[in-house]
Amino acid sequence: MLYLLDTYGWIEYFLGSQKGKNVRKLLIKQDNVFITVESSLAEINGWCLKNNQEFEKCFRAIRANSTVVLVNQNDWIDAGKERFNQRLSQPDFGLIDAILLIKQKAFNCKLITGDRHFEKLKHVIFLK
């Protein structure tokens, strides 16, 4: 199974929380494949700085367990439309969240997150 693991999921994994343990169970399963959108790297780096964590250690774990996928010009354009549509029902839906949805659709995979913006969307494994 192919999964997109977002910033929320990675941070829970790094914290070793119960939600993170659920992520770990998926990561260690041999037939699962993971991708991480490059924008998550910036968010995770910010979290590391705020919480006195070593980003390079987190980055190594991300690269060891997933493929980092790039965001291109068309993704950003499509994300503008996706954000507009999502904001019809979720006024604070962010552009990075829209990028995640664009990539999820492009890769036809499940998104792993605990971000409330995704809780009621299809093809989401919501961490509780």
How far, in Å, CA of 112 to CA of 29, rounded?
15
pLDDT for res 104: 98
User: Could you list the mean pLDDT of each consecutive 10-residue stretch along the chain, which spans 128 residues?
Assistant: 98 97 96 98 98 98 98 98 97 97 98 95 94
pLDDT for res 75: 98
Residue 114 domain boundaries: 2-126
pLDDT for res 84: 98
Query: pTM here?
Result: 0.94
Place of tokens 């999964």: 3
How far, in Å, CA of 67 to CA of 117, rounded?
24
**How many domains is the chain partitioned into structurally?**
1
Q: Are 9 and 112 in contact (CB under 8 A)?
A: yes
Q: The CATH number of the domain where 25 resides is what?
A: 3.40.50.1010
Residue 108, SS3 per DSSP: coil
**For residue range 14-29, what is the model confidence (pLDDT) as tens digits?**
999 999 999 999 999 9
